[in-house]
């Protein structure tokens, strides 16, 4: 009898420890997802315009799942210590629902990260940057978002286009409709600017003289934060789920062994 009691005690201790870890990870997941949703790099308008913003949906789910994990871990600790079958069954059912949501969040983030390719942003930039005739309010909103984001990106990161300024020369674009090639081979923000915000040498910029225009592409500045976002949500969530799986199995076993 004493041996069985010891075994149950050890299982209790392990389950409490497991739930503590789940609680802390839940808070960490909430904090991480709030950070990503707050969009510190201002890249959300680009995703919104591609209609491919599901990594943000995954982060939103992550916020609520993290908080639910924290609350349920407290319920689990109470249930294990009190050895209350009802509490533990409620805990198991709610944890399974939370598990399903977190699984959805991970898979969404991992899947939609695959869609973020240079060609996607290139096509969107060419079709939307400085587009003058917008069809409806939604189109206008997205166009303004894309234009402002690209202007900010090009100024802050000293870059031009997705792969380079040659993107503007190789393809026709909405920008090209209103700005002729002789005066604007590429947008003004691709030029090296002085302190007042005007190009240092406009002719040098138009001719492509090295040092007077930004010759590298902006794709690294876009994909870096987005990849961090998607990987952070997908893989941290995956790690939490693996740990939660073990704790849940232990809890189910514990539940089936205690008497009411």
Partner 1 sequence: MYRHWVVFVFCCFGELCADQNLKPQLAASQLATNNPTLTTIALEKPFCVFDNSLSPNESYIIYLYAMKGSAVAISSLVTDNSSKPLDSTFHQTRGGELGPYKAALFNVPNCASPPKLADVGNVNKAADVLKQYLFRVGDDGTCLYDPNFLGVCNPPLAPDTTYRFKYVLVESTGGIMKDQTLWSDPIKTRRVKLPLKIDTWPGRRSGSMIVITSIQSVLVFLLLAGLLAAVSSAVMRSEDASAETKHVSQSIQQSEPRPQLGSE
> What region does 116 belong to: left with phi over 0, alpha with psi -120 to 50, or beta?
beta
Window 69-88: residues binding partner 1 (CB under 8 A):
none
Interaction pattern, residues 146-165, with partner 1; x per rule: CB under 8 A:
-------------------x
54 lies in the site for partner 1, by CB under 8 A: no
Applying CB under 8 A, does 242 fall inside the site for partner 1?
yes
- Burial of residue 155 (number of CB atoms within 10 Å: 0-12, 13-18, 19+): middle
* Measured distance between the N- and C-terminal CA atoms of the chain, rounded to whole angstroms: 18
Distance CA 167, CA 203 (A): 19
Q: Is 21 in the site for partner 1 (CB under 8 A)?
A: no
In whole angstroms, the minimum distance from the beta carbon of 214 to partner 1 comes to 12
Among 201, 216, 221, 225, binds partner 1 (CB under 8 A): 201
Instruction: Find the radius of gyration of the CA atoms of the chain.
Output: 26
Under rule CB under 8 A, residue 120 binds partner 1 = yes
Q: Are 44 and 152 in contact (CB under 8 A)?
A: no
Which region, judged by CB under 8 A, interacts with partner 1, from 5-13, 23-31, 120-128, 130-138? 120-128
Q: Counting contacts by CB under 8 A, is residue 203 touching partner 1?
A: yes
User: Which of 149, 142, 161, 147 is closest to 214 using CA atoms?
Assistant: 161
- Which CB atom, from 38 or from 259, has the smaller least distance to partner 1? 259
Residue whose CB is less far from partner 1, 80 or 116: 116
Q: Largest Cα–Cα distance of the chain, in whole Å?
A: 91
Cα separation of 209 and 140, whole Å? 35
Which positions lie near partner 1, rule CB under 8 A?
A: 92, 96, 99-100, 103, 106-107, 110-111, 113-117, 119-120, 122-123, 126-127, 165, 169-173, 176, 180-183, 185, 200-201, 203-204, 206-213, 215, 231, 234-235, 238, 241-242, 245, 248-249, 252-253, 255-256
């Amino acid at each position: 009898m004493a041996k069985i009691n010891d075994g149950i005690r050890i299982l209790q201790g392990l389950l409490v420890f497991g739930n503590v870890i789940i609680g802390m990870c839940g808070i960490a997941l909430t904090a991480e997802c709030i950070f990503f949703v707050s969009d510190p790099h201002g890249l959300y308008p680009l995703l919104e315009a591609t209609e491919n913003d599901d990594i943000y949906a995954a982060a939103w789910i992550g916020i609520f799942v993290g908080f639910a994990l924290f609350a349920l871990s407290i319920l689990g600790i109470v249930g294990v210590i009190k050895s209350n079958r009802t509490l533990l069954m409620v805990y198991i059912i709610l944890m399974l629902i939370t598990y399903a949501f977190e699984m959805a969040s991970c898979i969404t983030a991992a899947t939609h990260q695959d869609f973020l390719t240079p060609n996607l942003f290139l096509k969107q930039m060419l079709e939307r940057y400085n587009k003058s005739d917008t069809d409806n309010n939604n189109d206008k909103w997205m166009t303004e978002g894309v234009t402002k984001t690209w202007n900010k990106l090009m100024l802050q990161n000293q870059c031009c286009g997705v792969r380079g300024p040659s993107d503007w020369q190789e393809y026709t674009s909405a920008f090209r409709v209103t700005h002729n090639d002789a005066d604007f081979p590429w947008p003004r923000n691709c030029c090296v600017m002085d302190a007042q915000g005007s190009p240092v040498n406009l002719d040098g910029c138009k001719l492509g003289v090295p040092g007077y225009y930004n010759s590298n592409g902006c794709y690294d500045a876009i994909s870096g934060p987005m990849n961090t976002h998607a990987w952070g949500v997908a893989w941290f969530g995956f790690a939490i789920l693996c740990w939660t799986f073990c704790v849940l199995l232990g809890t189910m076993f514990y539940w089936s062994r205690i008497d009411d």
